[in-house]
Structures are given as structure tokens and as C-alpha cells.
Structure 1
């Protein structure tokens, strides 16, 4: 096992954390999961990946290149995930926060802060590097996205195009 894969493998074995994380079970202490997403736009088209049919999350649905922070800054996570998932080189100097989606998927689910960063420049051509998670990377017209897009991904793209920085979903 590659050392960088170890946190994912361990996380997959652990049960989902209960909603009450605060010492003593106080529900005020529910921790939010932090997700980091890459918004790449080229010639009016947005890069989205088609999730694998066996994915635990959003199977057969289009989504940003994304990951969860693993004891690292959000931008460091973005740079790491871009390389791991698609072979893209991102220089942190060319990254800017363009949208935040605060989402809860359903009753009892952990709230999530989804940070969406734009890279103004990158190196490489998107290639599938994790075929068990993503089937393809494709550029979609921002105003004609595929039918099956993760709802908060669609909301973020719409927010970015409208010049809004923040969206809430599911509350």
C-alpha cells in the first residue's frame, strides 16, 4: 500500500462518526466535513468527472475533481487531489476561492463545507488516474451541463456564474 493511500484505507474501515462529536454528546459540537473542489474552466467549458457506477457517493453522476482535507490546508489538498485524480499540476499561487457550499444531504447526516477553488492556470491534460472512482474527465459548456450532476456541484457552478460566493443546500 502506498503511504498516501493509508489514511483513505483506514477511513474506509472506520464507522461513520456520530453526529454528536462534542465531549459529553452535546449536539452543538457537530463537526463539519471539509471538502475541496477544483473548478477549471476553459473556453466557457467546465471540467467534470463521471463517477464510477460502483462509487459510494454519486455513482454515474458528474462531479468536480474533489477530495477531503487530510491534516493539510485546503489549497494543499486541492493540489494533491488534482495530481492524484487527474495528473494535473496546480501552482497554489494561481488558486482562488470562488464559491462555498454549506450542505447537509439529509436528516442525521454530517454537515459539509464544500470549498470550490478556481485554478487560473494548470499544467497537464486531465486523465483518469483513479478508474475505480472516475470513468472520464470531460469539458462541459457551463450553460449546458449534463443532466446528472451532483446537486451542490451544479449549485456552485450556477453561483460562480452569477458572481455569488455562498450557497446553502439541505438545511
Structure 2
């Protein structure tokens, strides 16, 4: 019998705040990653590593990429997207978490992978925000916690 199919997992912290009565989300502009470089993405996102839970990965990525400290107890599940790889693309489970409490001031801690870090009103997201991320955010706002994406 052959080996079971394996896929990757990635975490996407949806770091949010309210400012001047408006909900805002923290995004970063990708650089030198090999995936959607030049586009806006959720700040603090990354792969789940071996022997690590998704929440542990979110905590680690927020520290590594943004210099902020997040407690697992302050992380809330938002959405799961099964991104099926077609035509040689990788298959992922993308796990989205909402984070509204953390310690420290977010900054670009990995300048080799990021060219910008900015808060955006959720009603005025940039046009070059990665489409599947925007879709997951809108599904979260609509209380839809699971989606499937065919990724070619």
C-alpha cells in the first residue's frame, strides 16, 4: 500500500483593532517569498512547523515577523480554507485566527520578506490584497468558517 497524501498547513493571523470607530486589519506587503510578492497579506502569517500546533505557529510567526507577543488564550479561530493544489501546486490547510490583544508595537521584523506594514479599514482594503485572503476575511465576517479553493 502506498504512502498517504500529505499537505501543508499555514496560519494567518487576522490582527484587528478599532480606531476612530472603524475596524482595521494589519497587513504586510510580501517580498522575496516566492508567493504573491508585491501583494498585501495578513501580517504574521506562515507555515506550521513540525511538532507545532497551529496556535503555537501563530504565536511564533507574530513574534518573528512583527515583534509582538501573543498569548494563545487571546487567539480565536476564524476560518479554515482547504486550498487544493492543482497542476503541481501544493495543497494547504489555511487556518485563520483573529487576534485583537497582544503586547508590543508591531514593526517589520523581517525586512528581507516585507516592504510595508499598514493598518487598513476593513471596508477599504487595498486592491492588491491577496484574493483568497480577502475571501477568507469576508467569510469570517459572514460567520462562514470553512471554504474550499482550487489552486492552480
Deviations 1:7-49 (A, max 9, x none): xxxxxxxxxxxxxxxx636xxx321210011111111011110
Indicate whether 1:66 and 2:41 are aligned.
no
Indicate whether 1:33 and 2:12 are aligned.
no
Q: 1: CA distance between counterparts of 2:106 and 2:116?
A: 9
Q: Which stretches of structure 1, 4 residues or longer, exceed 6 Å deviation after superposition?
A: none
CA displacement at 1:115 relative to structure 2: 0.3
Q: Who is 1:170 aligned against? A: 150
**Equivalent pair of 1:41/1:47 in contact (CA under 8 Å):** yes
Tell me which moved more, 82-91 or 62-71: 62-71
- 1:91-110 to structure 2, matched below 5 A, reads 91-110=71-90
> Which structure would you say has the larger Rg?
1
- Out of 83, 86, 105, the residue aligned to residue 125 of structure 1 is 105
**Equivalent pair of 1:101/1:152 in contact (CA under 8 Å):** no
Seen in structure 2, the aligned counterparts of structure 1 residues 84 and 101 have a Cα distance that, compared at 3 Å, is same
Q: Who is 2:95 aligned against? A: 115
CA displacement at 1:132 relative to structure 2: 0.9
Q: Who is 1:55 aligned against? A: 33
Q: 1: CA distance between counterparts of 2:104 and 2:40?
A: 21
Normalised by the length of structure 1, the TM-score is 0.79
**Equivalent pair of 2:30/2:113 in contact (CA under 8 Å):** yes
CA displacement at 1:110 relative to structure 2: 2.0
Structure 2 spans left out of the alignment, 5+ residues: none
Q: 2: CA distance between counterparts of 1:167 and 1:40?
A: 20
Q: Who is 1:75 aligned against? A: 55
**Equivalent pair of 2:17/2:100 in contact (CA under 8 Å):** no
Q: 1: CA distance between counterparts of 2:53 and 2:90?
A: 21
**What SS does the aligned partner of 1:104 have?**
strand
Root mean square deviation, CA, Å: 1.5
Normalised by the length of structure 2, the TM-score is 0.88
CA displacement at 1:102 relative to structure 2: 1.1
CA displacement at 1:105 relative to structure 2: 4.9
Tell me which moved more, 128-137 or 106-115: 106-115
